[in-house]
């Protein structure tokens, strides 16, 4: 199927599957994991669809799956269920409770989205600035991709710092 005719397979249920997959991985890592490791493991927990395996047409070499998974974590972060700090992803106690209580992926996503919208309503000035910034004419997905790129750069920087510190001779 040609790229132009591919229909996106991004349902709320699918977003919930990606979100729950991330939490499933982090259950075994109370100290968190580097984001790139979570995403690598996620592919084993939540099999990417053919659409997710493909690259973005305007960005060859950039696969959809990882970007979609990063985008899917925005709601859980704003809900207070997931923390991303210094390149590591951690599940909070609230996130663990939500994961255990809301087993349906679509309902899990709906609750994360509800809490995200509640957070957003409390941030009118910050949201207005965010919406005005970024690339001219960029839509929400493009802005999210830009934010994802910043997140990836931060993870890489922290990984390099950690490597350097570990290599220092005591």
Mean pLDDT, to the nearest integer, of 135-143?
45
Q: What is the pLDDT of residues 62-109, one digit of tens each?
A: 899 999 999 999 999 999 999 999 889 999 999 999 999 999 999 999
Number of separate domains in the chain: 1
**What pLDDT does 24 receive?**
98
Nearest to 112 by CA among 135, 139, 81: 81
Question: What is the C-alpha to C-alpha distance for residues 23 and 9, in angstroms, rounded to an integer?
Answer: 21
**Cβ-proximal residues to 23 (8 Å cutoff; 6+ apart), any chain:** 76, 81, 82, 91, 95, 96, 99
**What pLDDT does 157 receive?**
60
Of the two residues 160 and 87, the one the predictor is more confident about is 87
Instruction: Tell me the residue range of the domain where 47 lies.
Output: 3-167
Mean pLDDT, to the nearest integer, of 12-34?
96
% of residues, the chain, pLDDT over 90: 56
Mean pLDDT, to the nearest integer, of 13-25?
97
**What pLDDT does 31 receive?**
94
Mean pLDDT, to the nearest integer, of 27-35?
95
């Amino acid at each position: 199927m040609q790229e132009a005719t591919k229909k996106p397979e991004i349902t709320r249920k699918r977003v919930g599957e990606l979100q729950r997959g991330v939490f499933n991985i982090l259950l075994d890592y109370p100290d968190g994991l580097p984001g790139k490791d979570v995403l690598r493991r996620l592919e084993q927990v939540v099999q990417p669809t053919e659409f997710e395996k493909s690259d973005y047409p305007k960005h060859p070499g950039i696969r959809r799956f990882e970007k979609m998974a990063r985008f899917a974590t925005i709601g859980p972060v704003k809900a207070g269920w997931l923390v991303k700090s210094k390149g590591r992803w951690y599940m909070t106690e609230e996130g663990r409770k939500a994961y255990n209580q809301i087993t349906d992926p679509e309902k899990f996503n709906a609750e994360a989205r509800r809490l995200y919208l509640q957070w957003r309503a409390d941030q009118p000035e910050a949201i207005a600035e965010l919406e005005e910034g970024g690339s001219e004419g960029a839509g929400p997905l493009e802005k999210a991709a830009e934010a994802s790129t910043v997140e990836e750069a931060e993870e890489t920087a922290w990984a390099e710092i950690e490597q350097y510190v570990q290599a220092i001779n005591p």
